[in-house]
Amino acid sequence: MMTVELKGFDVNVVWVESHFGWGHSAFSCSPGPKDKIGGVIGGGSDVVLVFSVCGVKFDGCGVHHKYIRHWINQNLPDPFGYFYLTIKIHKGPLSTRPVCSDCTSLVHPLGKWLDQVLQPITASQPFYFKDSFTLKEEINKLILLANASIITFDAVAMYTNIDIDDSIARIMEFLSTIWDKYECKAVEEAMNIVMRNNRMQFGDLIVCQICGVAMGMSPAPTIANLFVAIYENEHIIPLVGKYLMFYRRFIDDGFAVWLHDCDPITNAKNWNDFKAICNAMGLSWTFKSPQKN
């Protein structure tokens, strides 16, 4: 048997045995970096999510507590998400991307609420852009200096490497400066429930995610984006105008315009400092070095 996966106009055929082998290798009984995301648990009968939906109202949030309760009840017969892999056929050697489809899970309705609450905060951050069209409009306005060159950078397995405790603490510390304690408490409880109770099925296995946030969950991109943005506000903003002329990031992909120093030694130091600052945020990044024309 084999599975066929499509990416653009390419067709990728993978034997089912390989697909399941890769899937099993993504699970580990202890937390760690890269794509080790979960520990196998015995079954689903012990999974009980008990929480109360508070009456805190958020402007622009369309997910009501009645919606959350309704879909939790609807999802009770099949309470888990479903784990699967997409294959990165555009990269070599062949690798996979772990995804959890959680739309039928117990935590999905609350995750959708959390996503809608945090999205406006994430979208208001200085380095955020909505889509590639928005980025193109911004780039078109740039007038590049003679010592400028383009750099790109990419997070390594961003979702599965976000530390749950660190992300909740960082986001809640930030939100406490703009929200009251009741709004913060509601979001903190929701983050704890969603991020610590992701159970998913893969074949005959039921696993619990023990580190990171699952790609495929409603709030995952928003949480990841905000987690990095808060760090950028303190550590990257001061670099703009120093040796960064322009800086934008779309979740785990960064784009910037680098300003070369006339002294090669200083320029190399600036570049190494920039990489060290990025890699100190709790994630690892790969970089394409600036090349002066």
Task: Give the pLDDT band (50/70/90) at residue 92.
Answer: low
Residue whose pair of structure tokens reads 């993978």 in the numeric block: 14
Is the pLDDT assigned to residue 144 strictly greater than 80?
yes
Q: Which of 183-187, 233-237, 258-262 comes out lowest in average pLDDT?
A: 183-187
**What mean pLDDT is reported for the chain?**
81
How far is it, in rounded angstroms, from Cα 202 to Cα 209?
A: 12
Single out the residue of 154, 278, 157, 156 nearest to residue 214, CA to CA.
157
**In terms of DSSP bridges, do strands 285-288 and 253-259 run parallel, antiparallel, or are they unpaired?**
unpaired
For residue 178, give both structure tokens.
Answer: 């703009």
Provide the percentage of residues in the chain whose pLDDT is more than 70. 76
**Residue 29: count of CB within 10 angstroms of its CB:** 10
Residue whose pair of structure tokens reads 């320029």 in the numeric block: 267
DSSP state of 13: E
* CB-based contact 260:147 (threshold 8 Å): yes
Which pLDDT does position 279 carry in this prediction?
97
Which pLDDT does position 97 carry in this prediction?
80
Single out the residue of 176, 214, 221, 222 nearest to residue 196, CA to CA.
214
Q: How far are the Cα atoms of 213, 244, 284 from residue 198, in angstroms, in the given order?
A: 9, 39, 24
Which pLDDT does position 62 carry in this prediction?
59
Tell me the average pLDDT across 108-129: 94
Provide the percentage of residues in the chain whose pLDDT is more than 90. 51
Single out the residue of 62, 59, 83, 45 nearest to residue 198, CA to CA.
83
Tell me the average pLDDT across 50-75: 63
Question: Residue 282: left if φ>0, alpha if ψ -120 to 50, beta else—which one?
Answer: left
Q: Could you tell me how far CA 277 lies from the centroid of its own chain?
A: 19
Q: Which of 60-74, 124-138, 276-290 comes out lowest in average pLDDT?
A: 60-74
Q: Which of 12-21, 45-54, 160-169, 185-194 comes out lowest in average pLDDT?
A: 45-54
Q: Could you tell me how far CA 19 lies from the centroid of its own chain?
A: 23
DSSP state of 211: S
How far is it, in rounded angstroms, from Cα 275 to Cα 208?
A: 33
Q: How far are the Cα atoms of 104, 188, 190 from residue 109, in angstroms, in the given order?
A: 9, 16, 11
CA angle 177, 256, 92 (to 5 degrees): 110
- Please tell me which residue, 35 or 285, carries the higher pLDDT value: 285
